[in-house]
Amino acid sequence: MKNGAAGLRPARWAARESQSRGRLHPEPAHPYRGEYQRDRDRIVHSSGFRRLVYKTQVFVNHEGDLYRTRLTHSLEVAQIGRTVARCLDLNGELVEAIALAHDLGHTPFGHAGEDALHECMKPWGGFEHNLQSLRVVDELEQRYMGFPGLNLTFETREGILKHCSKRNARRLGELGQRFLTRGQPGLEAQVANLADEIAYNNHDVDDGLRSGLLSEAALCSVPLFRRHYERVVREAGSVPRRVLIHETIRAMINEVVTDLVETSRRNIRVRRLHSSDDVRALTKPLIALSPATLAEHLALKRYLRRHLYRHEQVIDVTSRAQEMLKAVFQRFLADVRTMPREHANRARAWEAEKGEAGRARAVADYVAGMTDRYAFSAYKRLVDPRARLP
């Protein structure tokens, strides 16, 4: 496989800072840092980013110190994304910024928490974690004198907003446009999106095996796992189980990422692209897996959904966590003074402006920003002092 030029000579279809659609609040250039580098640096310095360390990926944060959290997940996504960007001569700093920010809007307690908050917010337009990630970087982080949020470039914000309902897209102007016209985001956003899928498919196998909810024998019904696992067992001789597992996962990531690079390179070549805007006008993403690898990747994803995400032990923990989150939401909504003053003030201000929907949105922002353990302590304080961890 040919090596990329490490971002020194970005391809015509890569994001270029000189062609950036810029920031919502214009700022002078930095003397020695590029625009996407500044985006990444602002994300790493944000408080939302630090909170990812105590947010669940699949296993609730207190279940064990070795499981992935949203933070380590985001780092793995960035790492895979940078490799792919480098091979395709794309803008690695932009991919990294998107990857590090993509989960900033995640609620405590993973997808279960998101579902719970969505249910609470149904009367007022619901809750979408992707849109929430955008709200975090556009509005909720308060750190700079000249603007709310982190004032990131259009391209980073475009990559963060992976999905979006049509209703919300209409409110987002230029950024929401592609969800209405079925256009594509830039290639860097496409890379971050697939790096996310590859990262969690593989690390959830690792965490699932560590937890004992999955087993190697059962996972051998998934062709991608079986092929590599059987080879590793054959070649490794007597090594600890954790080496067998790591070598298998390492080989799975390598195979899927290699296919992603080769397939995407072919897709880009046949299109004869001149700029990143040529990419946005297409109806299908160019960063993609080959049909055979995609089928295997999806088979693993389905397996994890059935046997890990819907495992009764996981469901048991997450459904208790959901009840906790719903209960604290209702308490805050009923009496905003139970939130810290800054959030209570925001709830009152937004209520004056937009009625009950404004108050509810301020509560949702506060609850979504919580870590697992902070949400649990709020539940103990407000609802049940004798509650056990979910």
Please, which residue, 103 or 206, has the CB nearer to Mg ion? 103
Any contact of residue 114 with Mg ion (CB under 5 A)? Answer: no
Q: Is 204 in the site for Mg ion (CB under 5 A)?
A: no
Q: Give the binding range for Mg ion (CB under 5 A) out of 82-90, 124-132, 188-196, 360-368.
A: 188-196
Binding mask 86-105 for Mg ion (x = CB under 5 A): -----------------x--
DSSP 8-state class, residue 28:
P
Q: How far is the CB of 96 from Mg ion (least distance, A)?
A: 14
**Cβ atoms of residues 372 and 55 within 8 Å:** yes
The phi, psi pair for 69, rounded to 5°, reads -115, 175
Residue 95 or 362: which CB sits closer to Mg ion? 95
Dihedral sign, Cα of residue 258, residue 281, residue 5, residue 27: negative
Interacting positions 329-368 with Mg ion (CB under 5 A): none
> Any idea what DSSP says for residue 255?
H
The DSSP secondary-structure symbol of 9 reads S
Q: Considering the complex, what minimum distance in angstroms separates the CB of residue 70 from Mg ion?
A: 8
Q: How far is the CB of 197 from Mg ion (least distance, A)?
A: 8
Nearer to Mg ion, 128 or 196 (CB): 196
The reply on whether position 206 binds Mg ion by CB under 5 A is no
Burial (0-12, 13-18, 19+ Cβ within 10 Å), 262: middle
Question: How far lies 134's CA from each of 8, 11, 75, 103, 314, in Å?
Answer: 29, 27, 19, 10, 28
Q: Which residue lies nearer to Mg ion by CB, 105 or 390?
A: 105
b/e per residue 267-297 (b: at least 16 CB within 10 A): bbeeeebeebeebbeeeebbbbbeeebeebb
Stretch that binds Mg ion, among 49-57, 191-199, 272-280, 319-327 (CB under 5 A): 191-199
Minimum distance of Mg ion from residue 102's CB (angstroms)? 5
Which residues, 131 to 160, sit near Mg ion by CB under 5 A? none
Could you tell me which of 200, 203, 193 has the C-alpha nearest to residue 101? 193
Q: Which is nearer to Mg ion, 57 or 153 (CB)?
A: 57
Q: Does 128 bind Mg ion (CB under 5 A)?
A: no
**Site for Mg ion contains 196 (CB under 5 A):** yes
Contact residues: Mg ion, CB under 5 A: 103, 196
